[in-house]
Amino acid sequence: MALDPYTELRKQPLRKYVTPSDFDQLKQFLTFDKQVLRFYAIWDDTDSMYGECRTYIIHYYLMDDTVEIREVHERNDGRDPFPLLMNRQRMPKVLVENAKNFPQCVLEISDQEVLEWYTAKDFIVGKSLTVLGRTFFIYDCDPFTRRYYKEKFGITDLPRIDVNKQEPPPVKQELPPYNGFGLVEDSAQNCFALIPKAPKKDVIKMLVNDNKVLRYLAALESPIPEDKDRRFVFSYFLATDMISIFEPPVRNSGIIGGKYLGRTKVVKPYSTVDNPIYYGPSDFFIGAVIEVFGHRFIILDTDEYVLKYMESNAAQYSPEALASVQKHVRKLEAPASESESKQTEKDPGVQELEALIDTIQKQLKDHSCKDNIREAFQIYDKEASGYVDRDMFFKICESLNVPVDDSLVKELIRMCSHGEGKINYYNFVRAFSN
């Protein structure tokens, strides 16, 4: 049975019309099949917030002029292992004027919207390339790519570019200015840790010098007349190198005494905040000027423990400090006889009083009134002035069987009498004591 010629024609495969450009593409495909240019690039986004510098590999397929961008992942980089940043596709370089509003995310770009595509000439080591809004910098390529550019374009100089950034110099950690509250070391702990810790202490020094205190008497250097008679007691604690100041209260002075400065370290004047220098034991000696927070004090005297400490630690003190203490000791150890002799020369009545007291002591050597006579007068002398009223004086003497009718005792009472009907019982009691 013969077939219809139209039916046989419909069964034959349709032949596609082939243009000259199709032959060029086929030739390109057969010539450059499996030949890929490989470029190494970086995307530096460190200028933006939380940006970083990331490494990519750009593949350019010579067979169809398509481009693929792969992301280089490192171990433990914290990113999901998606290898491709951009799938293999042709990349438009220049678009037509009306293609700016073309929905590229929905439709594919064709030759009608593109004036020029990216080619191998656009991928050069040392130049930047903008793809998908990101600017990639090509810093290296593989050996095959170098040979291709040398044979095809005559480009021989494609050196590798070092893109490793040098680490910036370490930022110097500077402490903020000292605000004046607390100690410098204590305030600095707020800059070292989120939860500040107390500065370390010299435990051995605290154990060795526990309860060791150096005390000094000082005067305030001030142009105000009311401050000239004020006296202060400096206490230097050897265990912590801290200083406290106490002002003894004085009646009717108009100034409330008490604690003037609590325990704290005092910085020397003209010392910097970065390297504060505190007052030490060697800075305290008689005649030294101590400046405490803008107030100047002059050391006038010390206690006996300070003298012993300076004697045992003479190497810590300057010659000026040792000389001032030696001069002070000489004044204290001056013989009392000199002061007594000067006093008798100025006042002849004192010598007569001393002679009368010696005579009464010899005469009333075994008298029973000698017991507790001083305590009896002190009970009625509540202000510790050394004087009692005349009437009270004779009542006490009568209760203690003091022979007030004796001529020598009468003379002693006359010499101890004071104006306003009072008697100085200090000198009177001396006649009845050993």
pLDDT in tens, 52-70: 888 999 999 998 889 999 9
pLDDT at 335 over 60: no
Q: Please determine, for residue 389, whether its predicted confidence score (pLDDT) is greater than 70.
A: yes
> What is the rounded average pLDDT for all residues in the chain?
80
| CATH domain 203-317 topology | PH-domain like (2.30.29)
What one-character DSSP code corresponds to residue 32?
S
**Is residue 434 predicted with pLDDT exceeding 60?**
no
Token readout for 401 is: 């069987």
Please check the confidence at residue 233 and state whether its pLDDT lies above 80. yes
Pick the CATH number of 348-432 from 3.40.50, 1.10.238, 1.10.10, 3.30.470: 1.10.238
CB distance 408 to 356 below 8 Å: yes
Number of Cβ within 10 Å of residue 230's Cβ equals 18
Task: Give residue-wise pLDDT tens across range 270-328.
Answer: 887 777 888 998 899 888 899 998 899 999 888 888 888 888 888 888 888 888 888 87
pLDDT, mean of residues 60-84: 88
pTM comes to 0.43
CA dihedral sign, ordered 316, 321, 322, 326: negative
Residue of higher predicted confidence among 158 and 214: 214
For residue 89, list its beta bridge partners.
67
How long a stretch of residues is the chain? 434
- Among residues 305, 319, 412, which one has the least CA distance to residue 358? 412
Q: pLDDT band for 102, please (50, 70, 90 cuts).
A: low
Range 72-89 average pLDDT:
86
**What is the per-residue pLDDT across 174-232, written as a single tens digit (0 to 9) for each?**
877 777 777 777 888 888 888 888 888 888 988 988 889 999 999 998 888 888 889 99
Q: If you average pLDDT over residues 149-173, what whole number do you get?
A: 86
Residue 396's nearest CA partner among 408, 384, 413, 383 is: 413
Q: At what angle do helices 348-363 and 407-416 cross, to 10 degrees?
A: 140
Res. 1: pLDDT tops 60: no
Instruction: Tell how strand 36-44 and strand 53-61 pair up.
Output: antiparallel
Q: Which class is 25-153 in CATH?
A: mainly beta
Same fold, 25-153 and 348-432: no
The residue ranges of every structural domain in the chain are: 25-153, 203-317, 348-432
User: What CA dihedral angle connects 215, 221, 224 and 229, to 10 degrees?
Assistant: 40
Residue 94 has pLDDT above 70, yes or no: yes
